[in-house]
Amino acid sequence: MNNKEFINELASRSNQTNAETTTLVNELIAVMTNHLVENDTIAITGFGQFEVKKKMERISVNPATGLRYLVPPKLTLSFRQSNTMKDKMNDNK
């Protein structure tokens, strides 16, 4: 499902126009992005939890040349699904 299909389905389920739904989805993404940039955790009951994790620096080796280099630390976005979502995913098999 792409963004357009998502907005169309959400608009039809909520009886709103596509323009209103697009604005709502964009605002939701903006709010989530702002909180994640501040290293806040976002927990959505029944869905899961988004959090920012820091990956430590590490030494990596280029397999072609054998040269070692330092990979700097970085922040990554992590998602952990809730048990409710996990159960729904496993029931659909």
Condensed to tens digits (0 to 9), the pLDDT of residues 1-28 reads 999 999 999 999 999 999 999 999 999 9
Condensed to tens digits (0 to 9), the pLDDT of residues 17-73 reads 999 999 999 999 999 999 999 999 999 999 999 999 999 999 999 999 999 999 999
Terminal-residue alpha carbon distance, the chain: 19
Sign of the torsion formed by the C-alpha atoms of 35, 40, 42 and 48: positive
The Cα 10–Cα 63 span in angstroms is 47
Q: Say what the pTM is.
A: 0.75
Cα Rg for the chain, rounded, in angstroms? 19
